[in-house]
Amino acid sequence: MAKIVEKCSFCGRSKKDASMIITGLDGNICDLCVTQAQTILDESLPSRAKKQRSSTDFKLMKPVEIKNYLDRYVIGQEEAKRVISVAVYNHYKRIQHSSMTREDDVEIEKSNIVIVGETGTGKTLLARTIAKMLNVPFCIADATALTEAGYVGEDVESILSRLLQVADYDVKAAEHGIVFIDEIDKIARKGDNPSITRDVSGEGVQQALLKMLEGSIVNVPPQGGRKHPEQKMVQINTQNILFLTGGAFDGIDKKISSRLQTNKIGYKADRKREIIDKDNILQYITPVDLKAYGLIPELVGRLPIVTFMHILDKATLRRILTEPKNSLIKQYTRLFELDNIKVTFDEEALNFIVDKAIDFKLGARGLRSIIEGIMNDAMFELPSDNTIKALRITETFVEEQFLKTSMARLKVA
């Protein structure tokens, strides 16, 4: 009796040419054809594999839990963390319960946020930490590169192109993401009056952002609009995308002071003016000040939540160096541990680093620049020296190394 040879009904491979052949009722299929079929399915149905995680696969925590999570990464900024925790909780609670509608149910609108604070105070870190906690797509866009449609620069739709790329082109996942638009103050209109001529990088961009922030269906070029004009557009509904905006708003303190009349004098001057904290005037910011700075009223109305970032003092900068889960000192300690070198920092050395960051008014970002310059020689030499297994960073060490950096030649601001 002749021996039956098992062959793949698709490619004709015999059992000896394949790792496995699966036998069915009327045919067989080898493991190679199964792999190829899976690849075809993934390419033709890209959202099928992601369907389960795309819409509501994020853990919604209560505001107190959100703030506790932020405390692990962001030092200080208690007011901003409380405001953002409530706003994020309400936004995603609104999304999760949007399907549970009743005839008398109230439609809850979005709560986009604007964060005002000097550079290095943690605006971007707050937004990035929120996205990491919720496990939703997150992207950062820079408003300085945006221009009105049809002019040299990036269209506002490019913001959603980045979000779509981060979400692996899963539209459903992108529609529940978070977008952080940095440098939002750079698109303030140039004068107090509405522009008569075209303000294509200021008021024109604000006008283009209105519909996106409020919630609408936007045609988005997946690979960017100008380089690939022939590509097919993807429609994204921005109704459930949370927009966080941030900016330094340099000079807005003068607008706030003028509104508060901090310099008011006279016998009938209101005594309540005396309790105004002039060193941290941003805490009194309101939407009125944003409008006076140059944001159009329609845009201010679509950013209903306004919060601020405190100026980082010495005590806060000192805590930022060591306390967060991913603090700078922990990062550098880990870098040397990978080379089997134990690094310790003296208190005086840390205080020297903080003092220099304050002198140059660099905020938390300045801490990294200063430490990088101080540790550069050690990071260059020690990995090749197998005799050194420990390094102690003293005040004398950081002073000597800082004098070698280019920052030491700068005048204190």
* pLDDT score, position 226: 56
Walk me through the domains of the chain, giving residue ranges and CATH numbers. Answer: 1-44 (no CATH), 54-98+107-308 (3.40.50.300), 314-409 (1.10.8.60)
Q: Is the pLDDT of residue 89 over 70?
A: yes
* pLDDT above 70: residue 43: no
Highest mean pLDDT out of 56-60, 81-85, 121-125, 403-407: 81-85
Amino acid identity of 97? H
More confident residue, 89 or 265: 89
Confidence tier at 52 by pLDDT (50, 70, 90): very low
- Ranking 144-158, 190-204, 371-385 by mean pLDDT, the lowest is 190-204
> What pLDDT was estimated at residue 55?
45
How confident is the model at residue 409, as a pLDDT?
A: 73
pLDDT for residue 49 is more than 50? no
Predicted confidence at residue 101, as pLDDT, reads: 56
Mean pLDDT of the chain: 82
What's the pLDDT score for residue 53?
A: 43
Residue with more model confidence, 61 or 342: 342
The percentage of the chain sitting over the pLDDT mark of 70, rounded to a whole number, equals 82
The predicted structure's pLDDT at residue 50:
44
Which residue would you say has higher pLDDT here, 380 or 223? 380
Mean pLDDT of 26-40: 86
| 109 confidence band (pLDDT: 50, 70, 90) | confident
Confidence of residue 2 (pLDDT cuts 50, 70, 90): very low
According to the model, what pLDDT value does residue 372 have? Answer: 93
| pLDDT value for 412 | 55
Whether the predicted pLDDT of 230 surpasses 90: no
pLDDT in tens, 334-368: 999 999 999 999 999 999 999 998 888 878 888 99
> Which of 193 and 56 is assigned the larger pLDDT?
193
Pairing status of strand 305-308 against strand 342-345: unpaired
* 87 vs 411: which has the higher pLDDT: 87
pLDDT at 128 (0 to 100): 87
Does residue 99 carry a pLDDT above 60?
A: no
pLDDT digits (tens, 9 = 90+) for 267-313: 555 554 457 777 788 889 999 999 999 899 999 999 999 999 988 88
The share of the chain scoring above pLDDT 90, in percent, equals: 33
